[in-house]
């Protein structure tokens, strides 16, 4: 293995391509958290006290 900056950058780019589903996993997690928050809001809004 060479210890030059160009070789290091090439190796880092190759490692980034091998990660694969990193961006997809981030998107899935964000959508899941937003969906859980929306579902909780939707279900819990019915428990609001109505002073009529």
Token pair 């819990």 is at which residue? 44
Query: What would the DSSP string read from start to end of 1-52?
Result: ---SHHHHHHHHHHHHHH--THHHHHHHHHHHHHHHHHHHHHHHGGGS----
pTM of the model: 0.51
Percent of the chain surpassing pLDDT 90? 29
Residue 33 · residue 39 · CB < 8 Å: no
Report pLDDT for 23: 80
Q: How far is CA 44 from CA 12, 34, 47, in A?
A: 47, 15, 5
């Amino acid at each position: 293995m060479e210890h030059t900056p160009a070789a290091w950058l090439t190796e880092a780019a190759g490692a980034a391509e091998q990660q694969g589903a990193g961006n997809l996993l981030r998107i899935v997690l964000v959508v899941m958290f937003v969906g859980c928050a929306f579902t909780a809001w939707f279900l819990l809004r019915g428990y609001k006290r109505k002073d009529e």
